[in-house]
Amino acid sequence: MKYLNRGLVALLGGILVTFYSQTAHCSNIQAVPSGLADGPGVWLNMWNYPSDPESYCLKLHASGIRNLFVQTSRSNTDPICNPAGLGSLLETAHRYKMRVIAWSFAELRNPSADAGKLIAAARFLSPKGERVDAIAPNLEKDLSANKVQAYSQSLRDALGENYPMIAVVYSPLNHAPQVASIPWKMLDKYYNVIAPMNYWNSKYEKIEPYDYTLQTIKKIRSLVGRSDVEIHVIGDGMGTHGDSIKLFLAACRTGAATSASLYPNQKITEEQLNSISQYPDYFVVNSRFRLAAYRQMVKRGSLVLPEKTDPADAIRRGEFFCLLLRQLHPAAGELPSDSADFGQSEAMNLLTKVGVLRNQPSDPGEGYLAQSITAKEALDLVASTLEAKERLKQHSLSKANATRQNRLLSNISRKAERLFVQPAFAEGAPGNAPQPLSYLDAAQIVVQASAGLK
């Protein structure tokens, strides 16, 4: 994978726990969320536990797999269908730094009994004391609201509000009759992640994986009614070949899904494993942090999406100017947070005055501010802010008598000496034109810049 680098760059490999913790402290964003890890996943059903967990987990890890979804039960089995196998898988997968998510097929004839099975999985201890990292109820048999409510409430009551839970449901594009009754807003209330079964192999019609996946992502955001819902897309691994998987991953990138996995037909094939290993070419390195940054921006009102705008859409240059100033210089009461009072042209003028903007057109108009920008342009803009920091230290402005613009200059100059870690972005396939910066990308860049400059 190739990355865009400029200025002070630190290697962002692995989970980036140290950086995330620092950024969380600086910007009130929680550290890396528990449950899923950044990276691809593979699903394993209860009939196909590996006879040799060591070689199985080694192969998955070598292919970049970071999430292993292991079926622990269904409605007509014991709560833990294979305790010895689960314990061995847990210990081996954790040794290879893979998270293990327990899943169960819940028919919901008896919601309380079905919930009890996943509660048992969440409380299961391996011989060496290892636990699963999250649970993922598979809800597709009965999706009536009252049963889903009773089932989900039982899980939350038993496991607590902070336990990571992933709702596995049909894609909203699926033609199964149950899809019409999926209580999307209720799922969003109880579950941290929504994971649609995005299966494009059909006996009845030809489905193109790219469009199907992209529309699945967008439709879920619309149905949930929350742009920052975390979406983990389960790709079709039932007889699927590499070309389809690459189209699936490309659609996940376009739609800004947070993560993805493959549900194979019994056992994953070498071709499928090789295809999913190319996951880093399609997903940003730290997509879960990016979502956390975006959520914080939306919650604080620093980032307001135009009506019916998807967070994967391109952010306008003028919007990025405003976002950058509000996040980096939130002097209480000194800068208005309302975009109607703090306009895009004013943001551009302020950035120009402090020497951050250097290459804009001589007579920029509304068209310039309305254009999208690339990740490189945004990173260059933030890096220029860092460079301006030293020059701005020479300003000795009187805050008592300063104008609002001069107070901004003063605020910029009072920054501590911290390292600035730039985010890593996949450039995409060779030869592709630079992708415009999305709202999610912008949130990540600005939050990381804020942590570096404060």
How does pLDDT run along the chain (454 residues), one tens digit per residue?
A: 333 333 322 322 222 233 333 333 333 333 444 789 999 999 999 999 999 999 999 999 999 999 999 999 999 999 999 999 999 999 999 999 999 999 999 999 999 999 999 999 999 999 999 999 999 999 999 999 999 999 999 999 999 999 999 999 999 999 999 999 999 999 999 999 999 999 998 777 778 999 999 999 999 999 999 999 999 999 999 889 999 999 999 999 999 999 999 999 888 999 999 999 999 999 988 888 889 989 988 888 778 787 778 999 999 999 998 887 776 665 433 444 443 356 888 888 878 877 788 777 766 767 899 999 998 888 888 888 767 655 555 543 334 444 555 555 445 444 323 333 344 454 444 445 677 899 998 988 888 777 554 4
Q: Looking at the domain assignment, is residue 363 inside a domain?
A: yes
The answer to whether position 287 is within a domain reads no
Instruction: Please count the structural domains in the chain.
Output: 2
| Same domain, yes or no: 267 and 332 | no
Does one domain contain both 84 and 201?
yes
Q: What is the 8-class DSSP label of residue 179? A: G
> Are 299 and 438 contained in the same domain?
yes
Q: Is residue 31 assigned to a domain?
A: no
Do 299 and 246 fall into the same domain?
Answer: no
pTM, 2 dp: 0.82
Domain limit, last residue, from 218, 250, 282: 282
Question: Residue 2 domain-assigned?
Answer: no
What SS3 class is residue 252?
helix
Range of the domain at 421: 295-453
Is 253 in the same domain as 370? Answer: no
Q: Are residues 146 and 260 both part of a single domain?
A: yes
**Cα separation, 352 vs 151, whole angstroms:** 56
Question: Looking at the domain assignment, is residue 385 inside a domain?
Answer: yes
pLDDT of residue 388: 65
Same structural domain, 269 and 357: no
Do residue 322 and residue 182 come from a single domain? no
- Give residue 376's pLDDT: 87
Are residues 227 and 274 located together in one domain of the fold?
Answer: yes
In terms of domains, do 175 and 202 share one? yes
- Of the three residues 234, 252, 282, the one that is the final residue of a domain is 282
Q: Are 232 and 195 in contact (CB under 8 A)?
A: yes
Q: What is the pLDDT of residue 342?
A: 65
The per-residue pLDDT for 308 is 79
CATH code of the domain in which 273 resides: 3.20.20.80
At 346 the pLDDT is: 83
Nearest residue to 72 via CA among 21, 133, 30, 13: 133
In a domain, 148, yes or no: yes
Other Cβ atoms within 10 Å of 417 Cβ, number? 6
Predicted local distance difference test score (pLDDT) of residue 229: 95
Coil, helix or strand at residue 274: helix
Residue 308 structure tokens: 């019916």
Answer whether residue 12 is part of any domain.
no
Q: Name residue, tokens 């929350």.
A: 226
- Do residues 369 and 414 both lie within one domain? yes
Token code pair at residue 248: 């699936």
Q: Which two tokens stand for residue 64?
A: 């970049």
d(CA 446, CA 110): 48
**Joined tokens for residue 52:** 């040799």
Among residues 247, 282, 317, the one where a domain terminates is: 282
Q: Which pLDDT score, from 0 to 100, does residue 152 have?
A: 98
Closest alpha carbon to 314 in 377, 387, 365: 377
Q: Could you tell me if 18 and 429 are in contact, meaning their C-beta atoms sit under 8 angstroms apart?
A: no
Whether 213 and 359 map to the same domain: the answer is no
* Residue 289 within a domain: no
User: Distances in Å between the alpha carbon of 392 and those of 68, 355, 406, 413?
Assistant: 50, 9, 11, 5
